[in-house]
Every structure is written in C-alpha cells, then in structure tokens.
C-alpha cells in the first residue's frame, strides 16, 4: 500500500492535535498512529484494534496496537469502513472527503473534516463512540442505534433511523423518511425533523421491518447489500409462484396487502405449493390519522373471494373460520 506509514503519537499530535480531538492524554508519546497521505484509495478499512495492525502490514516499534488512523486528504474506499467492537476502537481522522460503499462505526471516535458520501449505508451502533461529519453527507440510509452521529453540513438520505442523530442546520436536510427524534448540536429536539411513527421503515427490505437490529444491518453492510426494498424479480423464464399470482390478482383489483402499518390481505403457505390461505390481517401500528380509512374485515374477505373467483381461482371458505379463504390457483 502506497503512502502509508506509522508515526508516534507525539509526532501526530503536534501535526494534527490528536490528543485534544480524541481524548488521548493518557496514551504514551511512543504509541503509534497510522498515517495515510491522501488522496488515498483503499478497498476497505477495518477500524478494530489488532485487525487494523494486521491490515496495515506495517512493522511496529511499540508493543501496543495502533491508536488510530489519520488520512491527510481525501479517502476513497471501494467497499466499507467498519468498526465492529462496541466498547472501543481506533480513532479515524480524515482531513478531506470520504467516499465509501458503506460506513459503519461503533466504539471508534471518527472525525471527518470534509464530507461523507456512502453509496448505501451510514451506520452507528453503541454509545461509546461518535461520528462527526463537518461537510456534506449523503447515503441511502442513516441508521443510529445509541451511537452519536453529528452532521454539521447538509444531509441527504432516503431514510434516517435516529436514536442519536444531531444536525447543525435543519434547512440543509433532505430526507424522505424519518423514524425517531432528531436533535440539534445542543441536544435539543428539532420538531420539524424526525417522526415518532415507524411507518418510514417500509422503505427497508421487508426482512428488516419487524426488527431493524444493528447486528442484522451490519451483516448487510459487510455483504455490500443495500438496506432499501427492491422490486421483486424473477429470472427470465422462471414461472410465477402461486403466492405471487394471488398477490398480483389482488393488488391489480386494488386490494391492499397487509404490513406492520396497514391492514390488508395476508397470504399464508400451508406447506403445499398449490394450497394457500388468504385472510385479512390487522396492522401492528395502524394509521390513526384523521383521514385514515379503516377497512371492514368481513367485507374485505368477501371482496378477496370475489376478485379471486373472477380471475378463475378456486376459492373455498374455511369450514372452521369464515374469515379464512382456501385458495387453489
């Protein structure tokens, strides 16, 4: 790797003021820091002690692990920047802009003096670390679970799930969906940002709707997967499943499919590829706004039966529960 070397904390502190920035006053002057001369292009950057040591391949003069990384300029990472240890991790100081596919931190202290552009996700987990972005920030999803993420410049995202997201200027925020409160740099709630409802989670892959746990999100980050929901697709020539056909028939007739936020139809596989159940399912977090139109369960089930029968699907009513339809396409 070009333009990378180890320098002492004493030298790094004189050049970059690291002790004051990252609370390193108790460290020894002879402890070492990784210095990367920018602009730097990396495949990935692991921000965990020992893992970082091995990744650099640099000889060490001190017995301790590298305290952190200074990138003196812009940083471009093809894959991910990841710190997985909750309680601690090497610090990261970038004196320019950062571009990465994914950016995930937990116990590390991170200061980016420029902007942060993540193609997919900015993730912060656990409260021992902090991520500060001085410039413009952009991502598909920003997900904070206890981890403080400060955006001092603009913020653009499809979805922000906020436990401890702070922004300096609400006028520079462009976010399509919010879950959780957002605060200013004085730790005061910004009323025009954020949302108490979790309805915006429907922008995520359905596997993350019920339990958007940071561990599952980290797995997606490490696999390079977007968290956003993508349209269902089949390989060319692959036939539709029975459930797909039933769903398509009902949706084309204007029937609403159930999810955690809206009542609607529910399709259940009975273990037989040609035998499905269709029923009405109520939402876990129903829409209680004044303009919400509640659905009548019995009327909806009758509607499902009429729509499916008109499409040539064999429909019978469960003999033990009139609210369940047995469907055989």
Instruction: Give the whole-angstrom CA distance, residue 225 versus residue 287.
Output: 30
Are the CB atoms for 204 and 187 separated by under 8 Å? no
> What's the pLDDT score for residue 85?
87
Alpha-carbon gap, residue 247 to 259, rounded angstroms: 13
| pLDDT computed for residue 102 by the predictor | 98
Tokens 């320019």 belong to which residue? 96
pLDDT at residue 257 greater than cutoff 60: yes
Yes or no: say if 94 and 72 are a contact pair by the CB < 8 Å rule.
Answer: no
Tell me, what DSSP letter sits at residue 203? G
Q: What is the pLDDT of residue 75?
A: 97
For the stretch 145-185, pLDDT in tens is: 889 999 999 999 999 999 899 999 999 999 999 999 999 99
Nearest to 295 by CA among 260, 257, 321: 257
d(CA 16, CA 28) in angstroms, rounded, equals 16
Which residues fall within 8 angstroms of residue 1, CB to CB, at 6 or more apart?
Answer: 42, 56, 57
Q: CA-to-CA distance for 178 and 168, rounded, in angstroms? A: 17
Domain residue extents for the chain: 4-208, 242-328
Distance CA 180, CA 165 (A): 9
Structure tokens at 5: 């070397």
Backbone angles phi, psi at 225, to 5 degrees: -95, 140
Q: Mean pLDDT over residues 235-256, rounded?
A: 86
Q: Is the pLDDT of residue 236 over 70?
A: no
- How far apart (Å, rounded) are the C-alpha atoms in residues 228 and 142? 11
The answer on pLDDT for 247 being more than 80 is: yes
Average pLDDT of span 58-81: 93
Q: What is the pLDDT of residue 283?
A: 92
Helix (H, G, I), strand (E, B) or coil at 56: helix
Residue with the bigger pLDDT between 26 and 110: it is 110
Question: Cα 258 to chain center, whole Å?
Answer: 23
pLDDT averaged over every residue in the chain: 92
Residues paired with residue 72 on neighbouring β-strands, in sequence order: 37
pLDDT at residue 234 above 60?
no
Q: How confident is the model at residue 60 (pLDDT cuts 50, 70, 90)?
A: confident
Burial of residue 63 (CB within 10 Å: 0-12, 13-18, 19+) is exposed
Q: How many CA atoms lie within 13 A of 102 on its CB side?
A: 23
3-class SS of residue 243:
helix
Summary count for the chain: helices (H), strands (E): 6, 21
Residue 54, pLDDT above cutoff 80: yes
Strongest mean pLDDT among 100-104, 220-224, 244-248, 275-279: 100-104
Percentage of the chain surpassing pLDDT 70?
A: 96
Q: Which residues contact 191 (CB under 8 A, 6 or more apart)?
A: none
């Amino acid at each position: 790797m070009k333009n990378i070397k180890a320098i002492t904390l004493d030298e790094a502190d004189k050049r970059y003021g690291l002790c004051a920035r990252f609370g390193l006053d108790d460290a020894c002057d002879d402890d070492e820091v990784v210095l990367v001369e920018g602009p730097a292009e990396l495949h990935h950057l692991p921000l965990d002690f020992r893992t970082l040591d091995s990744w650099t391949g640099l000889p060490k003069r001190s017995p301790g692990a590298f305290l952190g990384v200074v990138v003196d300029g812009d940083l471009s990472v093809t894959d991910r920047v990841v710190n997985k240890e909750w309680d601690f991790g090497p610090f990261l100081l970038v004196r320019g802009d950062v571009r990465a596919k994914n950016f995930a931190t937990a116990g590390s202290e991170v200061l980016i003096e420029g902007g942060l552009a993540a193609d997919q996700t900015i993730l912060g987990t656990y409260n021992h670390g902090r991520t500060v972005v001085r410039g413009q920030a952009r991502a598909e999803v920003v997900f904070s679970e206890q981890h403080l993420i400060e955006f001092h410049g603009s913020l653009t995202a499809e979805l922000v799930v906020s436990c401890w997201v702070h922004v300096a200027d609400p006028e520079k925020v462009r976010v399509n969906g919010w879950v959780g409160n957002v605060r200013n740099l004085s730790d005061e709630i910004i009323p025009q940002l954020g949302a108490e409802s979790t309805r915006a989670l429907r922008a995520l892959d359905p596997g993350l709707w019920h339990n958007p746990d940071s561990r599952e999100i980290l797995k997606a980050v490490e696999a390079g997967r977007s968290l956003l929901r993508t349209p269902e697709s089949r390989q060319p020539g692959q036939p539709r499943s029975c459930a797909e056909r039933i769903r398509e028939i009902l949706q084309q007739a204007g029937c609403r499919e159930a999810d955690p936020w809206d009542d609607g139809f529910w399709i259940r596989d009975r273990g037989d590829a040609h035998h499905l159940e269709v029923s009405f399912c109520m939402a876990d977090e129903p829409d209680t706004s004044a303009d919400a139109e509640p659905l009548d369960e019995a009327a909806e089930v009758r509607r499902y039966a009429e729509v499916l029968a008109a499409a040539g699907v064999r429909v019978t009513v469960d003999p033990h529960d009139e609210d369940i339809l047995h469907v055989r396409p």
